[in-house]
Amino acid sequence: MNLKLPETSHPRIVILGGGFAGMNVALHLKDTDFQVVLLDKHNYHTFQPLLYQVATGGLEPTSIAYPLRKLLKKIPNAFFRIAEVQNIDTNQKVITTSIGELQYDILVIAMGTTTNFFNLPSDSTSKMKSLKSIPEALDLRSFLLENFELALLEDNENKKQALINIAIVGGGPTGVELAGAIAEMKNHMLPRDYKELDLSKMQVHLYEATGALLGPMTENSRIRALEYLQNLNVEVHLNTAVQSYENGILHLGDGHQLPTETVIWTAGVKGSPLKGIDQQYILPNGRIKVNEINQVEGLQDVYAIGDISCMITEEHPRGHAMVAPVAIQQGQLLAKNILKLSRQEKVNTFKYFDKGSMATVGRNKAVVDFPGKSVKMGGLLAWMAWMVVHLMSLVGFRNKLIVLTGWMYNYLNYDRVLRLIIRPSREPLND
């Protein structure tokens, strides 16, 4: 098969992935003398920071997605294809995809990350849920609700308890935000929907292998987030690694066990797999080593940006944080640098402009560290700041409007209106 792209005498830039990084390269190459080809396995951009709200019925999936074709519609020199990227041949400058092969002049790898279960055996991980995409968020939403439906019908008290116990693994922003959202469902929505169930018995556990939640944030914010979660009755277990998950029992490093049908893994990511790049340029966590202009070390016309790349500098000895602002800024700079290189001008190296970090724990509760980390904020003000930043960062006016009205409705009604089970029937439960 062939990708049926228009013939061109202009150099072709192929961008792999329409996330924050790839999207920004394409947008900043508008009206240039390049043919820009964007490939993604989905036909939409995903706003991952709000996936957890889709998974807990707070937002519609379409409000955090944006069609990539619509994004490119005002860029006449850009073309989009849905394709799963499989291999790169850097000698021949050809990439292999699920819909055929494509020649490039300049290649931009922006394929983000995938869930990292580290060394856990697949017997354990196959029954866990992860949260990296809209299909996964929808699957999790249905799965959570189905468990409550099943609990209603269950006579065996132990099985009933396992159906309403929730374990979240990983105390980073995703784990913290998800734990807070599920605790709020337990406090408000679930008792109204499942009045025959004794939801005072429902347990929400958050397991973190290190000694603190929200690792990169300030101690002040970490302690605040812990207190917020504890006030919501989330049982937070620090210094507690997961060892295995078998037959509906989660085994922890400290010897404890939790019977649960729901284990949500948010404990790590690794670079999306990509064949063809020499292993010497790939770090153990799957990220591709790049220099200070995001060029893959050793490969002249190949760049990697965003989460999949790792730029090791004195200031960032383990690479930059895997967050949206890094991906956006790298995408924007790379587009400018590609243009400069084409004009044989001097390029600029990447300097991250840190706008601070934030996480929300629930209604009126969030933590914010401002750049430099000397100023921190918590509570209602931080929560409002979190909402404004996320609203402004969403792609598309319609999405912003829908998210805002969804949030207002949920806030006023203590509700999660999208508690819908929509998916094919699931596998039977563990015995």
Ligand X SMILES: Cc1cc2nc3c(=O)[nH]c(=O)nc-3n(C[C@H](O)[C@H](O)[C@H](O)COP(=O)(O)OP(=O)(O)OC[C@H]3O[C@@H](n4cnc5c(N)ncnc54)[C@H](O)[C@@H]3O)c2cc1C
Residue 246 a catalytic site member:
no
Stretch that binds ligand X, among 36-44, 153-161, 189-197, 253-261 (CB under 6 A): 36-44
52 versus 245: smaller Cβ distance to ligand X: 52
* Active-site entry in 60, 149, 177, 227: 177
Contact code string over 3-22 relative to ligand X, x by CB under 6 A? --------------xxxxxx
Handedness of CA 99, 101, 102, 108 (dihedral sign): positive
The answer to the question of residue 403 lying near ligand X (CB under 6 A) is no
**Size of residue set near ligand X by CB under 6 A:** 33
Q: How many CA atoms lie within 13 A of 124 on its CB side?
A: 16
Residue 48 as a binder of ligand X (CB under 6 A): the answer is yes
Tell the smallest beta-carbon distance from residue 351 to ligand X (Å).
18
List 111, 166, 169, 176, residue binding ligand X (CB under 6 A) = 111
- Fill in the per-residue mask, 317 to 356: x = in contact with ligand X (CB under 6 A), - = not in contact: -----xxxx-x-----------------------------
Contacting residue, 13, 15, 65, 131, with ligand X by CB under 6 A:
131
Least separation in angstroms between residue 48's CB and ligand X is 3
What letter would DSSP give residue 201? G
Compute φ and ψ for 224, nearest 5 degrees.
-60, -45
**β-pairing verdict for 44-46 and 65-67:** antiparallel
CB closest to ligand X, residue no: 19
What is the x/- site pattern for ligand X, positions 139-178, by CB under 6 A?
----------------------------------xx----
Q: Cβ of residue 284: shortest distance to ligand X, in angstroms?
A: 19
Report yes or no: 383 and 366 within 8 Å, Cβ to Cβ.
Answer: yes
Tokens of 290: 């790049």
**Is residue 38 a contact residue for ligand X (CB under 6 A)?**
no
**132: its two tokens:** 């990296």
In the complex with ligand X, the residue whose CB is nearer, 46 or 240, is 46
Q: Which residue, 134 or 164, is less far from ligand X as judged by CB?
A: 134
- Asked if 112 touches ligand X (CB under 6 A), the answer is yes
Residue 323, φ and ψ in degrees, nearest 5: -135, 160
C-beta of 322: minimal distance to ligand X in Å?
A: 5
Number of H helices and number of E strands within the chain?
Answer: 12, 25
Nearer to ligand X among residue 160 and residue 224 (C-beta): 224
If the CB atoms of residues 85 and 181 are measured against ligand X, the closer one turns out to be 85
By CB under 6 A, is residue 41 in contact with ligand X?
yes
Give the residue from 142, 116, 120 showing the smallest Cα distance to 130.
116
DSSP secondary structure, 103-156, as one string: E-SEEEE---EEE--TT--HHHHTT-EE-SSHHHHHHHHHHHHHHHHHHHH---
Cβ atoms within 10 Å of 97's Cβ, excluding its own = 20
Given a contact cutoff of 8 angstroms between Cβ atoms, the answer to whether 430 and 261 are in contact is yes
Q: Is 254 in the site for ligand X (CB under 6 A)?
A: no
When binding is defined by CB under 6 A, the residue of 106, 109, 110, 183 that contacts ligand X is 110
Give backbone dihedrals phi and psi of 115, rounded to 5 degrees, phi first.
-65, 140
Contact criterion met (CB below 8 Å) for 371 and 354: yes
Q: Which is nearer to ligand X, 81 or 160 (CB)?
A: 81
Measure the CA–CA gap between 88 and 106, rounded to whole angstroms: 12
* Residue that the structure tokens 């929808």 belong to: 138
Residue 44 has what DSSP assignment? E
Chain residues that interact with ligand X, rule: CB under 6 A: 17-22, 39-42, 46, 48-49, 51-52, 84-85, 110-112, 131-132, 173-174, 272, 306-308, 322-325, 327
State the catalytic residues: 177
